[in-house]
A and B are shown apart, each in its own frame.
Chain A
Amino acid sequence: MNRNLAFGAGLTAVFVLAALISFAWVPQDVTQMDIANKIRPPSPAHPLGTDHFGRDILSMIMVGARTSIAVALVAVGIGMGLGVPLGLAAAARKGGWLDEVIMRANDLVFAFPSLLIAIMITAIFGASALNAIIAIGIFNIPVFARLTRSGALSLWTRDFVLAARVAGKGAARISFEHILPNVTNLLIVQGTIQFSLGILAEAGLSYVGLGAQPPTPSWGRMLADSQTMVSFAPHMALFPGLAILLTVLGLNLMGDGLRDLLDPRLRRDRQ
């Protein structure tokens, strides 16, 4: 078993589990403020301390994981859901006008710095978790479209595809029945990487106040809130910061591990 994969999957599982558990139970209600007990360092009652409103930071991180994962998951979903069919279509009509239109539109989206446009979208349509999802999702579309197209192009020249064509199957059917299953491994690897980027983007947007709005806890906003207090309450910044770091690290390691596992060419190279 691949060490990267095991470690990455383990880290990711911890946070996914924390998010799932938070639906049923958290140490302390995150909307419950206790001003008298604000900015307390870690203690048995509050393992990660309390924030500037006396809320339990462990609970905030657990519920915040929910926000991060939900935003990233849906954003990757949007990217895959739209990007993969576009990529398949472009590959099937290689060199045609459809291919040109799709790929040039992709280039257009790629040309803009993604976080900047995400900020613009949330600034225009208002700051909310939903708009953050859409903004991040839009930038996932070209990533998946390109990947799918390049993977699919090499498959279109293969004999089994030729056989399918001879059998009279249409381009759409071939794309979904024969091409898609063979690019799935690529998509899983890229999906994992995009997932980690989505979590980072959500944290970034929340940090500047454009992500999930209070009282919904979010790691990025926890960091922003603690900014002026770092000098005397480092725990307030440390734990949400670590949560972001470890989740992104875990997902990246998992992505690397999955690539090693799923990509047969790489496996051969290593041996």
Chain B
Amino acid sequence: MFSGWLRAGALSAAAVVASVGWAQARTDLVVGMQLEPPHLDPTSAAAGAIDSVLYSNVFEGLTRFMSDGSVVPGLAESWEISEDGTVYTFTLRSGVSFHDGTAMDAEDVKFSLDRARAEDSQNAQKALFADIDTVEVVDPQTVRVTLKQPNGSFLFNMAWGDAVIVAPESIDGIKQQPVGTGAFKFSNWVQGDRIEIVKNPDYWGEPAKLDRATFKFIADPTAAFAAVMAEDVHVFSGFPAPENLPQFEADPRFQVLVGSTEGETILGTNNKMPPFDNVKVREALAHAIDRQAIIDGAMFGYGTPIGTHFAPHNPDYVDLTGMSDYDPEKSKALLAEAGFPDGFTTTLKLPPPSYARRGGEIIAAQLREVGIQTEITNLEWPQWLEEVFRGKDFGLTIVSHTEPADINIYARPDYYFQYDNPAFQQLMTDLNNTTDPAGRSAILKQAQEMIAGDYVNGYLFQLAALSVANAKVMGLWANAPTQATDLTGVYWED
């Protein structure tokens, strides 16, 4: 009896000594994020939270984004483009299998692309596939995609989370049991709490360094702060409260990652609703806004001022902030010219993120200075989508457009801000027909200038990617070229 106790004690002591002595690097990671995905199929919903969990970790496409926004080969090892730019022949990597053991081959690629562009497709970004004419299986390792017309951004389009390769065998359960080809396998989803993924031992490429990772959903900024401080989560990507970042920076236990995103934060303006159908009124709005005050007040200094709907880190970006510099006197003069010497009253509908709620209060104060009164309404996301995005029942709103290279939304007259300019629509058609980089760059610059000159929306700032992580976690993406939390290269430092 006694000796049994002793032996057990000695064993456990030995175990403790062993674990301390070996001190291996950790191989588990808890990632915090604010929004939980509605389901787990990135190819059939607009929710960015799905990609935040699954992109690159579980699902992969023909091409993929790197942290700096560049597009590199993914499941396609290489490709050839025909002279006229309409035929893409992809050579797939060999030996790639899905997590359920079935092989990933040309049939799966054809299935994925045909499914995404089908008439009844639920894909949120069908425009990515709009130019595809046919997808043919040449042999199991080769796929030939023929486009209706040249599309200079086709390889870029194929890198989106909406274009990942899925298998016909597992498509039925994909919303609950996603089966991809990535370095991690989906393991478990406790709805309302967390999603767990584990290392895929049969990965075709460089295997993940982590054995398992957990995504924990913490919506409340205060709870997020507490969870990171208590080291309950090791990484919080998209940290919701910029005001807390200096505290993390001052604490040696943590690192703060500040990177760029594709999120143009704009004062969305209803171009069809009087008085905003008058370009003078929109110009007056633009000059009434002090961007730096909004960045300092709402984002505590994190963010880059923009003057058009384009990411400043993009090589084709043109700095047009000067066209809409802060000048309340000019704004008042423009309002008087437009027939509103005493201003007017409009609505300002704000979704939940703090950039919108706080930015909205600041903008309301700035607009009041030039005589424009705003009635602020705070909306939850579903209400915002219903009233503003679909219903177009708003005067002004604030929202960040986080899709990469999305200036083409201005060519859609039925988009929520309802900018209808045939010249711009023509420009976007020209862009799609141009494959030569210099020509594309020139068109993109012209497009930026056109929407800035029409003062379509108030251009505020480029959202910063703010993440907090344990100081020992390495290999995280600082930038957010797409919505993703790529853990394939993440490891713990000893």
A contact set with B: CB distance below 8 Å: 31-33, 35-36, 38, 52-54, 126-127, 209, 213-215, 227-229, 231-232
Contact = CB atoms under 8 A, between A and B. Distances in A.
B378 A33 contact: no
B489 interface: no
Given A228-B241, A231-B247, A214 B361 contact: yes
A232 B247 contact: yes
The 7 closest A-B pairs by CB, nearest first: A228-B241, A35-B297, A35-B293, A33-B365, A228-B221, A35-B296, A214-B361
B244 interface: yes
A127 B376 CA distance: 10
8 contacts: A33-B297, A33-B361, A33-B362, A53-B361, A53-B362, A127-B377, A213-B378, A214-B364
A231 B293 contact: no
B358 interface: yes
A215 B225 contact: no
B293 A229 contact: no
B39 interface: no
Contacts of B293: 33, 35
Given A33-B362, A213-B378, A228-B225, 13 more contacts: A31-B365, A33-B293, A38-B296, A53-B361, A213-B375, A213-B377, A228-B221, A229-B243, A229-B244, A231-B247, A232-B243, A232-B246, A232-B247
Given A52-B243, A53-B361, A228-B241, A38 B376 contact: no
Contacts of A215: 361, 364-365, 376
B368 interface: yes
Contact of A127 (B241, B247, B378): B378
A52 B241 CA distance: 12
A228 B376 CA distance: 22
A226 B297 CA distance: 13
Contacts of B378: 127, 209, 213
Nearest to A225: B358
B297 A38 contact: yes
B82 interface: no
A53 B375 CA distance: 19
A109 B133 CA distance: 63
B368 A31 contact: yes
Nearest to B365: A33
Contacts of A214: 360-361, 364, 376
Per DSSP, chain A at the interface is loop
A231 B293 CA distance: 23
B188 interface: no
B222 interface: yes
Contacts of B244: 228-229, 231
A37 to B, nearest CB: 11
A228 B358 contact: no
B377 A53 contact: no
Contacts of A227: 221-222
Nearest to A38: B297
Contact of B377 (A54, A126, A232): A126
B244 to A, nearest CB: 6
A229 B221 CA distance: 10
A68 to B, nearest CB: 19
Contacts of A127: 377-378
A221 B361 CA distance: 13
Contacts of B221: 227-228
Contacts of B365: 31-33, 53, 215
B376 A53 contact: no
Nearest to A32: B365
Contact of A228 (B243, B246, B361): B243
A32 B293 CA distance: 13
A228 B226 CA distance: 10
B376 A213 contact: yes
Interface string B282-309: 0000000000010011000000000000
Nearest to A216: B376
Q: Which of A36, A53, A227 has the most CB of B within 10 A?
A: A53
Nearest to B240: A228
Contacts of B358: 52-53
A215 B363 CA distance: 11
A228 B222 CA distance: 5
B375 to A, nearest CB: 8
Interface string B447-467: 000000000000000000000
A228 B221 CA distance: 7
A227 B225 CA distance: 11
Contacts of A38: 296-297
Nearest to A231: B247
Interface in B353-378: 358, 360-362, 364-365, 368, 375-378
B225 to A, nearest CB: 6
A157 B378 CA distance: 54
A127 B246 CA distance: 33
Interface in B369-422: 375-378
Contacts of A35: 293, 296-297, 362
A248 B197 CA distance: 50
Q: Which of B247, B361, B364, B368 has the most CB of A within 10 A?
A: B361
B297 A53 contact: yes
Interface in B201-248: 221-222, 225, 241, 243-244, 246-247
A213 B364 CA distance: 12
A217 B244 CA distance: 24
Contacts of B247: 231-232
A213 B362 CA distance: 14
A218 to B, nearest CB: 13
A125 to B, nearest CB: 12
Contacts of A32: 365
Given A52-B297, A213-B377, A231 B225 contact: yes
B300 to A, nearest CB: 9
Nearest to B354: A228
A32 B222 CA distance: 27
Contacts of A213: 375-378
Contacts of B360: 214
B468 to A, nearest CB: 13
Contacts of A53: 297, 358, 361-362, 365
A54 B293 CA distance: 11
Contacts of A52: 243, 297, 358
A70 B328 CA distance: 35
Contacts of B364: 214-215
Nearest to B220: A227
B328 to A, nearest CB: 14
Nearest to A228: B241
